[in-house]
Amino acid sequence: MTKPLSEYNRKRDFEVTAEPSGSSARGKRHARAPAFVIQKHDARNLHYDFRLELDGVLKSWAVPKGPSLDPSQKRLAVHVEDHPLSYGSFEGKIPAGQYGAGDVIVWDRGVWQPHDEPRKAYAAGKLKFTLIGEKLSGDWTLVRTRLKGSGDKEQWLLIKENDQQARPVTDYDIVQAEPKSVLSGETVGSPKTAARPRKTSRKPSAVLPDQFTPQLATLVDRAPAGDWVYEIKFDGYRILARIRDGEVRLFTRNGHDWTDRLPRQTKALQALKLKDSWLDGEVVSLNAEGLPDFQALQNAFDIGRSLDIVYYLFDAPFLEGRDLREEPVEKRRAALKEVLERRKSKLLRFSEAFAASQRDIFESACDLALEGVIGKRAGSPYRSTRSTDWIKLKCRLQQEFVIVGYTRPQGSRSGFGALLLAVNDECGLVYAGRVGTGFNQASLKNIREKLKPLERDASPLEKPLTNAQARGAHWVEPRLVAQVQFYEWTREGVVRQAAFAGLRTDKPVEQIIHEQPRTAKSLKKSPVKTTAADSTLVGVKITHPDRVIDPQSGTQKLQLAQFYEGISQWIMPFLRNRPVSLLRAPEGIAGEQFFQKHSEHLAIPKIKQLDQALDPGHARLMEIDRLAALIGAVQMGTVELHTWGATTDKIETPDLFVLDLDPDPALPWKAMLEAAQLTLSVLDELGLEAFVKTSGGKGLHLIVPLARKNDWETVKAFAKAIAQFMTRQLPERFTATSGPKNRMGKIFIDYLRNARGASTVATYSVRARPGLPVSVPIDREELKTLRSAQQWTVDNLLDRLQGLKQDPWAGYTNRQTISKKMWKKLGANPPG
C-alpha cells in the first residue's frame, strides 16, 4: 500500500526547497472544521492550487484559470498528488530545477463543510461543500469528468452553485479583482515575492504598511551591563518617514501627518530616490554650538522656517523594499548609513553611535548640556512597542506636564509668573509643581495668549491644593503640554528646580503621566537577583521577581506587576465593586494553572474579602478595590482577572450581559468579524447598544450594559434567546450549543457566562496565553481593521492607550432595559 504523501516527498529535494516535508496527520484530528486553502502558483504556467483537508492530508487540484463566482463557468481542476497539512501556510519561491519552480502565495484560506459524507463523495467523484474563506464563500461542487488531455491525471470541474454569493463573471472576476495573498498581501511574479530558503536567515520583503508605530525606549536609572550601542538623545520631535512609489510622507509618533510642516526635509528625502521604505529619526534645531535646542525647534515651526531643522535618522525598519525589522540593529543602521551617504544633505544626517564606554558617553553628554543618551541592545530586532531593548538615560530629569494654571507676573515681568503643572494618575490630574524659569519675553507673550481663551473658574485637579500651593493660582482648561527640565521629584510628588524647555504639540494631554525609570537590572534577559527595594510596588513585595511568566515574550513576574501598575487607571474601573475570580499560574503559564473564586486559605495581599452572605456555603468572595490589591494578586501568581456581571451592592440584579463569540479555531478571522457585525446588527434592531472588546483569546466579547431590574435567570434567558435566534437565522454560521463538535465550522455564541457565579475575563486583563495578550475595548469602527483577538499584548498595549484620542467605550455607563417587545422580536418569552 502506498504511504500517504510518498508521491509528494518523492518529487522534492527538501535540502533545496523551502517547502515543508511532512507525513500524514491521520489519527490527529481535533474537533474543528477541515481546512481549505487556495495557493496561486506562478510555475511554468500560472494556476491556482485548490486544496481540501481530508484524512490528514490536503487533497489537491490544479485549477488553470482559478475559481469563478459565476455558476456558468465550469473551471477545469486537474487532480494532483496529496500535500501535507503544513503546506497550507507555505508562501515563497520554489527554486529553479525543483518540481513546480516559481512563486507561491496563499490566495485564500478558511474551512470547508461537506454536504455529504466526504470520503464516500470523494470516492464517487462528486463533492458538494460550503466554503467559508477570506475571499470565497457559499456552496461549491467538485465533480470528476472523463475529459482527456492530462495523461493519467484525473480531470475534475470546480463549479460555483447558484446562491447569494454567485456573481456573473462579466460583473466581477474575483481572480482579477483580488490578486493578493491573504497572509502577506503580496502578489506572485512581483519583486516583493521573496524566496524563503531553508538555510539562510534573510527575511523576505513585505508590502509596505500604510501606517507604522515606532519603537520606544524605556527610561532607566543607570546604564545596564551588556553589549549596548549608544547614541545622543535628541531634544526634538520623533518623526517617521514613509517613502512609497517615490512619494515621501512624514508622520509624528502618533501618526499625525507633518509633511507640509517639513517641506525641505521631504524634498531632501525624495532626492535619495529610495524604493519603498520606513525611516525612523528625530527632527531638531541646532544652536550656535551645534547642540539640539528644543525652544529653537519650536520657534522654527512657529515661523515656518524648516531650513533651520535637521532630520537625524537612526533606524530603517523597512528599506529599499525589504523588511529589516528582524535584522540586528547594527545591520539596519549600517544599511541606513549607506543610503544616506549616496547623496549628502545638510538637512538629513545619520545619528552616529559612539564606541566609548557608556559611562564616558553619558558624562560627556551631560557636560554638553544634552538631554541624555539612548542605548540599543546589540543584535536586537525592531519592535513597534516600548521595549527594554532600547533604553534612555537622562542627564537632568525631563518630561512633559499638563498646564493647569498660572500665576500673575511680579515686578516688571510680563505675561505670567509661573505655570502650574500636573500629570495624570489613576484618579485624574494631580498637581506636580510649578515652573517659573526658562522663559524669554517672546515665549511669555506667546504662552499667555494661548492661556487666555482657556481660563476657567474651578481647578481641573482631582484633589484640592493646600493654601500655599494655590496662592495666586489662575486656572485653565488642561489643553496645553509643556516640556520641563528639573532636578528631582520630591516625596510630595512635585518637581524641584524646574526650567521650561518648550510647548509640545505632538502629544495629547491624556498621555502625560509621571515617568518612572526602570532599574537597569530589570532589563537583563537572563534571570537576575533583584533587591527588595527593586521588587516592591505600592507597598507589596514581589517575591521571585525574575520568574519568567511567559517563555515566548520573556516577561517576568515583576514586569507583569509593573504592566498592571502602568494600566491601573484603565483596568481599575472594571474591577471595583465586583466579585473577582483569579486565574493563577504560580510557576508561569507553562505550568499548572488554578482558577480561584474565593479567598479560602490563600491570603492575597491587600485583597478585599466580601460579605459571607453574598455566596452562602462558600468561603468569602473577593474584590480588587485598589491598586495594591491588584499587585497583591500578581504577587500570588495571578495572570488573568475575571469579574461577575453584577456589582456587590446589588448582586442579584446584573448590570450587564455578555455574548462571547467563540469560533472554531479553523475559521478565518474574516468569519469572526462578519459574525460580530451580524450579532451587533441584531442587537441594534432590538434597540440595545453593545460594546466590543477583544477576548485576548480566539474571539470577541459583546457587552450590553443593563439597568439593574432583572434577576440572573431572566438575563441569562434573554442572552440565550439572542443566541438561539442567531442560530435559527444562520445555522451554517452560528451555534447556541457548547462543545467543540457542535462548533465545527461555526461560531458558538456563549451565553452561559451570564449565570449567577459565572464570570468573564475583565476588560484590560492579561490572558495566560503565549505572548500574554490582553482583552481590550475597541470602537465599533475599529472592527473593520482589527487583525486578531490577540492584537494587543503586554508589549504594545501602553502605546495604544497613549495614542487614543477618545475612549472607545464612550457611553458605556448608559443603562438599558430588556423590554417585552425585545422578547417578542426574538420569538421567545421571559422565564416564569
Please tell me the predicted confidence (pLDDT) of residue 367. Answer: 61
Pull the grid cell for residue 19.
Answer: 517547502
* Structure confidence at residue 361 (pLDDT): 63
Q: Does residue 681 share a domain with residue 802?
A: yes
Is 189 within the bounds of a domain? no
CATH code where residue 464 lies: 2.40.50.140
Please tell me whether residues 375 and 264 are part of one structural domain. yes
Residues 6+ apart with CB under 8 A from 607: 599, 622, 623, 624, 629, 632, 633
Rounded to 10 degrees, the C-alpha dihedral 605/608/613/615 comes to -60
d(CA 548, CA 537): 18
Compute the distance between CA of residue 754 and CA of residue 318 in angstroms, rounded to an integer.
47
Average pLDDT over residues 139-153: 78
Pairing of strands 348-350, 309-319: parallel
The Cα 825–Cα 722 span in angstroms is 10
Phi, psi of 529 (to 5 degrees): -75, 130
Same domain, 48 and 166: yes
Residue 719, all three cell numbers: 442572552
- Could you tell me which residues come within 8 angstroms of residue 715 by beta carbon, excluding any fewer than 6 positions away? 645, 654, 657, 706, 754, 818
Would residue 198 count as lying in a domain? no
**Nearest-10 crossing angle of helices 441-451, 294-303:** 60
Whether residue 786 lies inside any domain: the answer is: yes
- Domain of residue 308, CATH code: 3.30.470.30
Q: Are residues 694 and 793 in the same domain?
A: yes
Residue 736 lies in a domain: yes
At residue 512 the predicted structure's pLDDT band, cuts being 50, 70 and 90, is confident
Q: Is 684 helix (H, G, I), strand (E, B) or coil?
A: helix
- pLDDT over 50 at 527, yes or no: no
More confident of the two residues 622 and 15:
622
Report the distance separating Cα 223 and Cα 328, nearest Å.
20
- The confidence score (pLDDT) of residue 78 equals 94
* Mean pLDDT for all residues in the chain: 86
**Residue in 217, 218, 200 with CA at minimum distance from that of residue 315:** 217
pLDDT of 303: 64
Say yes or no to pLDDT of 786 above 60.
yes
Domain boundary among 129, 147, 177: 177
Average pLDDT score over residue span 436-441: 85
Q: Tell me, yes or no, whether 489 and 545 share the same domain.
A: no
Q: Which three cell numbers stand for residue 742?
A: 457542535
Cβ(353)–Cβ(317) below 8 Å? no
For residues 718 and 668, the model is more confident at 718
Strand blocks (E) in 669-817? 691-694, 700-705, 734-735, 747-750, 760-761, 777-778
Q: Are 230 and 369 contained in the same domain?
A: yes
Give the lowest-confidence range in 190-194, 394-398, 769-773. Answer: 190-194
759 to each of 80, 543, 616, 717, 749, how far by Cα in Å?
50, 28, 18, 16, 15
Tens of pLDDT, residue by residue over 664-685, are 888 888 899 999 999 999 999 9
Q: How confident is the model at residue 66 (pLDDT cuts 50, 70, 90)?
A: very high
Report how far residue 280's alpha carbon sits from residue 285's, in angstroms, rounded to the nearest whole number.
17
If one counts the domains in the chain, the total is 5
Q: Which of 59, 93, 233, 507 is catalytic?
A: 233
Q: Based on the domain organization, do 662 and 790 belong to the same domain? A: yes
In the chain, the largest separation of any two C-alpha atoms, in whole Å, equals: 102
Q: Where are the alpha helices (DSSP H) in 483-572?
A: 557-566, 568-571
User: Which residues neighbour 154 within 8 Å (Cβ) at sequence distance 6 or greater?
Assistant: 78, 79, 144
160 pLDDT band, cuts 50/70/90, is: very high
| Portion of the chain with pLDDT greater than 70, in percent | 88
Asked whether the predicted pLDDT for residue 712 surpasses 80, the reply is yes
User: Is 649 a domain residue?
Assistant: no
> What pLDDT shows up at residue 194?
44
- 110-119, 397-406, 482-491: the lowest-pLDDT one: 482-491
- Is 198 within 8 Å of 17 (Cβ atoms)? yes
- The Cα–Cα gap between 257 and 247 comes to 13
Grid cell, residue 160, equals 460555483
pLDDT, average across residues 652-666: 94
Q: Which amino acid, residue 631?
A: I
The answer to whether 738 and 723 have CB atoms below 8 angstroms apart is: no
What pLDDT score does 511 carry? 80
Nearest to 336 by CA among 306, 361, 310, 312: 312
Active site residue 233: yes
* CA 773/CA 796 separation, integer angstroms: 9
Grid cell 524634498 is found at: 267
Give domain status of residue 386, yes or no: yes
Domain assignment present for 191? no
How do beta strands 372-377 and 734-735 pair?
unpaired
Q: What is the mean pLDDT of residues 803-817?
A: 86
pLDDT interval class at 149 (50, 70, 90): low
Query: How high is the pLDDT of residue 198?
Result: 37
How would you classify the pairing of strands 656-663 and 747-750? antiparallel
- Among 511, 546, 579, identify where a domain stops: 511
Last residue of some domain: 483, 511, 539? 511
Nearest CA to 350 out of 361, 365, 339, 364 is that of: 339
What pLDDT is recorded for position 199? 36
Q: Round the CA-based radius of gyration of the chain to a whole number and report it.
A: 30
Same domain membership, residue 440 and residue 375 = no
**Band of pLDDT at residue 343, cut at 50, 70 and 90:** confident
Q: What is the pLDDT of residues 357-374, one digit of tens each?
A: 556 666 666 666 667 788
Helix then strand then coil, in percent of the chain rounded to 5, is 20, 30, 50
How many residues are there in the chain? 832
Same domain, 243 and 352: yes
Same domain flag for 135 and 232: no
Does 187 fall in a domain?
A: no
Q: Are 637 and 584 in contact (CB under 8 A)?
A: yes
Give the CB-side neighbour count of residue 129, counting CA atoms within 13 A. 29
**What is the predicted pLDDT for the residue at 784?**
86
- Rounded CA-CA distance 678/746 in Å is 14
d(CA 586, CA 599): 16
- Note whether 608 and 697 are same-domain residues: no
Residue type, 430: V
Smallest CA-to-CA distance from 771 within 224, 207, 196, 383 is with 383
CA 200 to chain centre: 29
pLDDT digits (tens, 9 = 90+) for 70-95: 999 999 999 999 999 989 988 888 88
CATH of the domain at 751: 3.90.920.10
- 214/604: higher pLDDT: 214
With a CB cutoff of 8 Å and minimum separation 6, the contacts of 573 are none
Domain range for 609 is 528-643
Q: Does 377 lie in the same domain as 442?
A: no
Ramachandran angles phi, psi of 23, nearest 5°: -120, 170
Q: Is this prediction's pTM over 0.85?
A: no
309 contacts 265 by C-beta, under 8 angstroms: yes
The CA distance from 456 to 241, in Å, is 40
Residue 670 CB partners (closer than 8 Å, separation 6+): 110, 133, 134
